[in-house]
A and B are shown apart, each in its own frame.
Chain A
């Protein structure tokens, strides 16, 4: 960054805070955030379902904003604070939402669950008493092929009702 001008490079050193741990790594500019988190940092809780931005299994919360991490370059996350599914039960105890997923059988194969949990977490953080329509709209970016969505919806509704 000499003379204040932006320099281009195919390799960058980035620093990210993920679930209260700080990581500094060198990354290729072409690397997607999901690959950085899974392959370089071995945080494999976030899944890759479609790799085309449709399924939401890779959803993370970056600086408080829910995103699909397959449509963000790792280098774009430099300096951010990221929350992934591993951070939800950080103390070893499930969050109210996670417990509600268990109680309501909101997962079968579990592949979509990390993304579902992050989307529902983001919803309940800004809207503690969502309407049925708001819950459905909040989960629109996450595809589940097992459950038919109903138990996921019930779990989020229950977690909201319990003040999560």
Chain B
């Protein structure tokens, strides 16, 4: 398919990329391209310029600090996270990345692209929200740090504004995590998903049911408490050809329970 005419630049540093993004309102960052290129084919987005981040080494790689905190470059691919020894400090990350689409997509698609796209059916927005990630966003006034609860603003919309770039994602240590999804075929697009973390308190984040991941905080980790918390969230998810609004609401409850059960098991193990 022929894309609309577009300019392309391949900066080698964050500073260069920011200069390009700031100078042109129609410039968009190109990460793995596994969403954006297709969106451009459909003319659902028509940027004037693509700023390819694939040449910026400082946006890649995973570091593990002494206290177990992971620092992940947004241009790290799903495959790199799956294969990373460091990322095993928070095992759920690799487990969920291994469920995204297929080998080819995992080889190109990036954690930063996934969260910045904030497609409500994506796997990683609810997951990073459940594990308490923080996001480092660079702009012309320097770098600001945004917690997950303030990162996702709307469908396809995050705290990374025009002329800004996500430069780092940090994730604290922990192992009491779970993730459950009902997908279109094995490893396909999520119809509904839920991520849970029981490192200390119980935190459940529901995907596919609203414009942004929905955080619920059950009083306890037992099934009935989790179900009650999801019911109390007053979900009114969209209905589509794959699931009615009512069915998606039902799935959210079921998947929340499954994710929490896994998280509890992992926390105790």
Q: Which residues of A contact B (CB under 8 A)?
A: 4-10, 12, 28-32, 35, 51-53, 56, 59, 65-68, 70-73, 75-76, 119, 122-123, 137-138, 140-142
Contacts and interface: CB of A to CB of B under 8 A. Distances in A.
A30 B16 contact: no
Given A30-B3, A76-B54, A68 B8 contact: no
Contacts of A31: 3
B4 A30 contact: yes
Given A6-B20, A30-B2, A51-B1, A65 B107 contact: yes
B226 to A, nearest CB: 30
Contacts of B108: 65, 67-68, 71-72
30 contacts: A4-B16, A6-B10, A6-B17, A8-B9, A8-B49, A8-B51, A29-B50, A30-B3, A30-B4, A30-B6, A32-B1, A32-B3, A51-B1, A53-B38, A53-B105, A56-B104, A65-B108, A66-B107, A67-B104, A71-B34, A71-B108, A72-B33, A72-B108, A73-B37, A75-B10, A122-B103, A123-B103, A138-B103, A140-B101, A141-B102
Interface in B19-68: 19-20, 24, 27, 33-34, 37-38, 41, 49-52, 54
Interface of B: 1-12, 16-17, 19-20, 24, 27, 33-34, 37-38, 41, 49-52, 54, 101-105, 107-108, 186-187
Which 8 pairs, one residue from A and one from B, show the smallest C-beta to C-beta distance? A141-B102, A29-B8, A6-B11, A8-B9, A30-B3, A8-B7, A140-B102, A141-B104
A118 to B, nearest CB: 9
Contacts, number: 104
A62 to B, nearest CB: 9
Given A52-B41, A53-B38, A72-B37, A29 B103 contact: no
B103 A66 contact: yes
A28 B52 CA distance: 15
Contacts of A119: 103-104
